[in-house]
């Protein structure tokens, strides 16, 4: 530990640990302009909703590591399950070999999900889970001899990942991927059917391109990483109806919304919609290890059953169904079964509504909105490095993006810590707008 000084992020801290200073010239950070990116904070431990920093400070985590840490950091039940699995078998390939954790997890996910979403294809990241869903949808039609259906219809304001196929179905103008416009395959990215005119437009597009479009994909109820925008259950039902009417495969991307984040186990439950394919990731392992899943209905799965070897789904991530990750996911599902996570989400929703309301009407505030354990203050504009620094000074980890200040805390966060998050959000917005 060196002597106290102002750290690059503005907090009063000791010198950064040697590994951080030595590794800094070699690391490339996500979504960061490396010329101006503030030096990151060294985290040496984490417990429930608190991050322990290398200099001894603690931050209350309002982000839950991109909303993955559902049960808080270092939950003993998940830690013990992963440690036990490490003794038995950390990994074995899923091609031709089987292990208990993946098979048990597949069976349990099928039971957690509604309808006949019964066939689980594992991968390691959400983007790949979406890629697999797109591939399933396109090949479903190819296997039936419908060769032209290679397009996807998605919605403005959406986010489905950072790989090339998923970038092509994200909001085309959100800034994150706009640069690649010419390099991406052209898809149909349309308005959400929030009113009658937009519903008509959606139906017209689907009718006109019924031979071109393989699938419709949407993040149900909350479009997350492209702007934390909410839409109603009615809007989701309109999308499902339109997809059905025009014979499309409906893909729900529940990578953000799944596992109680919007107040029910899955967002689709609030609309009574059951898709043909659902994508899961993020909180699947409770924020412990990377794992994602693409879960298909019997109808989609049966579209691949054939005497023709070429009809098989040709996909297989090397680490798919990793045993440690599946053990973590099984332990996380245990906690969703036996801990009051839905009630936790409702408690957080109430606290966020009350705590963020004072931001409404402040200068520069465009909207304040809450759904489940998601709280959002939308501003006219913001300087995210300045805001992040101010939050750190208040002992809170909040990571604004675009014009959004949001929180997605762990479900296990205490009321006092939650109050500190909402107070900090309102205060920082008041100080800076």
Ligand X SMILES: *Cc1c(COP(=O)(O)O)cnc(C)c1O
Q: Look up 253 and say whether it is catalytic.
A: yes
- And the tokens for 352? 């966020």
CB nearer ligand X, residue 296 or residue 429 = 296
The single residue among 137, 236, 255, 260 that binds ligand X, judged by CB under 6 A, is 255
The single residue among 50, 71, 119, 160 that binds ligand X, judged by CB under 6 A, is 160
Alpha-carbon gap, residue 70 to 144, rounded angstroms: 41
- Catalytic residue chosen out of the listed positions 282, 344, 417, 420: 282
The string of DSSP letters for 148-190 reads: T--EEEEETT----SSHHHHTTS-TTSSSSGGGGGGSPP-EEE
Q: Look up 200 and say whether it is catalytic.
A: no
Binding piece for ligand X, criterion CB under 6 A, among 111-119, 159-167, 366-374, 393-401 = 159-167
Q: Look up 319 and say whether it is catalytic.
A: no
The single residue among 7, 13, 123, 125 that binds ligand X, judged by CB under 6 A, is 125
- Minimum distance from residue 256 beta carbon to ligand X (Å): 3
Binding piece for ligand X, criterion CB under 6 A, among 112-120, 153-161, 334-342, 405-413 = 153-161
CB nearer ligand X, residue 255 or residue 382 = 255
Closest CA to 321 of 29, 99, 69, 163: 99
Report how far apart, in Å, the C-alpha atoms of 419 and of each of 184, 351, 375, 404 are.
43, 7, 12, 19
Report how far apart, in Å, the C-alpha atoms of 356 and of each of 260, 308, 359, 374, 403 are.
21, 57, 6, 11, 16
Alpha-carbon gap, residue 280 to 70, rounded angstroms: 14
- Minimum distance from residue 166 beta carbon to ligand X (Å): 7
- Minimum distance from residue 376 beta carbon to ligand X (Å): 14
The string of DSSP letters for 311-356 reads: GS-----TTTT-HHHHHHHHHHHHHHHHS-HHHHHHHHHHHHHHHH
CA angle 190, 236, 349 (to 5 degrees): 115
The single residue among 157, 172, 227, 281 that binds ligand X, judged by CB under 6 A, is 281
- Minimum distance from residue 281 beta carbon to ligand X (Å): 5
Alpha-carbon gap, residue 278 to 296, rounded angstroms: 7
Rule CB under 6 A: is residue 371 a binding residue for ligand X? no
Binding piece for ligand X, criterion CB under 6 A, among 112-120, 121-129, 206-214, 240-248 = 121-129
CB nearer ligand X, residue 82 or residue 225 = 225
- Asked whether 332 and 283 are in contact (CB, 8 A), the reply is yes
Q: Look up 31 and say whether it is catalytic.
A: yes
Letters for 400-429 (x = contact with ligand X by CB under 6 A, - = none) are: ------------------------------
Bridge partners (DSSP) listed for residue 153: 188, 216
Rule CB under 6 A: is residue 285 a binding residue for ligand X? no
HSE-up (13 A, CA, CB side) for residue 96: 0
CB nearer ligand X, residue 320 or residue 365 = 320
Residue nearest ligand X by beta-carbon distance? 126
Rule CB under 6 A: is residue 266 a binding residue for ligand X? no
- Asked whether 72 and 412 are in contact (CB, 8 A), the reply is yes
Q: Where are the alpha helices (DSSP H) in 182-278?
A: 196-208, 233-245
Binding piece for ligand X, criterion CB under 6 A, among 91-99, 110-118, 156-164, 180-188 = 156-164
The single residue among 219, 276, 378, 417 that binds ligand X, judged by CB under 6 A, is 219
The single residue among 41, 213, 215, 225 that binds ligand X, judged by CB under 6 A, is 225
The string of DSSP letters for 14-42 reads: PPPPHHHHHHGGG---TT--TTTPPPPPP
- Minimum distance from residue 96 beta carbon to ligand X (Å): 26
Rule CB under 6 A: is residue 280 a binding residue for ligand X? no
Closest CA to 284 of 157, 46, 50, 105: 105
Rule CB under 6 A: is residue 130 a binding residue for ligand X? yes
- Minimum distance from residue 252 beta carbon to ligand X (Å): 10
Taking phi first (over 0 means left), then psi (-120 to 50 degrees means alpha), and beta for anything else, what does residue 182 get?
A: alpha
CB nearer ligand X, residue 155 or residue 256 = 256
- Minimum distance from residue 177 beta carbon to ligand X (Å): 12
- Minimum distance from residue 229 beta carbon to ligand X (Å): 12
Rule CB under 6 A: is residue 131 a binding residue for ligand X? no
Query: What is the layout of strands, in order, in the sheet containing 396-397?
Result: 43-47, 50-53, 58-61, 396-397
Bridge partners (DSSP) listed for residue 371: 374
- Catalytic residue chosen out of the listed positions 253, 276, 344, 417: 253
Alpha-carbon gap, residue 155 to 243, rounded angstroms: 13
Q: Can you give the binding site for ligand X, defined by CB under 6 A?
A: 125-127, 130, 159-161, 219, 224-225, 253, 255-256, 281-282
Residues acting as catalytic residues: 31, 159, 253, 282
């Amino acid at each position: 530990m060196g002597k106290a000084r102002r750290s690059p992020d503005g907090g009063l801290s000791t010198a950064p640990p040697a590994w951080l200073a030595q590794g800094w010239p070699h690391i490339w950070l996500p979504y960061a302009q490396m010329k101006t990116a503030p030096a990151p904070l060294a985290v040496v431990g984490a417990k429930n909703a608190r991050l322990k920093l290398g200099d001894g400070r603690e931050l209350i985590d309002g982000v839950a590591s991109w909303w993955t840490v559902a049960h808080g950091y270092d939950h003993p039940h998940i830690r013990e399950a992963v440690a036990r699995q490490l003794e038995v078998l950390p990994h074995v390939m899923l091609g031709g070999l089987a292990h208990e954790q993946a098979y048990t997890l597949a069976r349990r996910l099928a039971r957690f999900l509604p309808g006949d979403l019964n066939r689980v294809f594992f991968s390691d990241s959400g983007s790949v889970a979406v890629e697999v869903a797109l591939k399933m949808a396109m090949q479903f039609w190819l296997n039936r001899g419908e060769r032209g259906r290679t397009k996807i219809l998605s919605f403005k304001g959406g986010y489905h990942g950072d790989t090339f196929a998923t970038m092509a179905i994200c909001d085309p103008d959100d800034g994150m991927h706009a640069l690649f416009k010419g390099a991406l395959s052209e898809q149909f990215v349309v308005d959400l059917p929030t009113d009658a005119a937009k519903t008509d437009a959606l139906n017209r597009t689907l009718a006109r391109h019924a031979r071109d479009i393989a699938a419709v994909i949407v993040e149900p109820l909350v479009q997350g990483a492209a702007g934390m925008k909410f839409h109603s259950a009615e809007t989701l039902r309109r999308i499902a109806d339109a997809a059905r009417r025009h014979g499309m495969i409906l893909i729900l991307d529940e990578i953000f919304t799944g596992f109680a984040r919007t107040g029910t186990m899955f967002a689709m439950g609030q609309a009574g919609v059951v898709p043909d394919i659902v994508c899961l990731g993020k909180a699947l392992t409770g924020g412990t290890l990377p794992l994602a899943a693409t879960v298909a209905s019997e109808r989609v799965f049966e579209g691949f059953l054939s005497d023709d070897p070429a009809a098989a789904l040709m996909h297989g991530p090397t680490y798919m169904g990793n045993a440690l990750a599946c053990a973590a996911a099984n332990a996380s599902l245990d906690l969703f079964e036996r801990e009051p996570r839905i009630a936790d989400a409702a408690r957080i929703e109430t606290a966020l509504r009350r705590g963020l309301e004072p931001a409404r009407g402040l200068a520069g505030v465009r909207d304040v909105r809450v759904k489940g354990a998601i709280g959002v203050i939308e501003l006219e504009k913001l300087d995210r490095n300045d805001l992040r620094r101010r939050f750190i000074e208040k002992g809170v980890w909040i990571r604004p993006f675009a014009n959004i200040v949001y929180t997605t805390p762990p479900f296990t966060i205490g009321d006092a810590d939650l109050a500190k998050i909402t107070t900090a959000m309102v205060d920082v917005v008041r100080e800076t707008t």
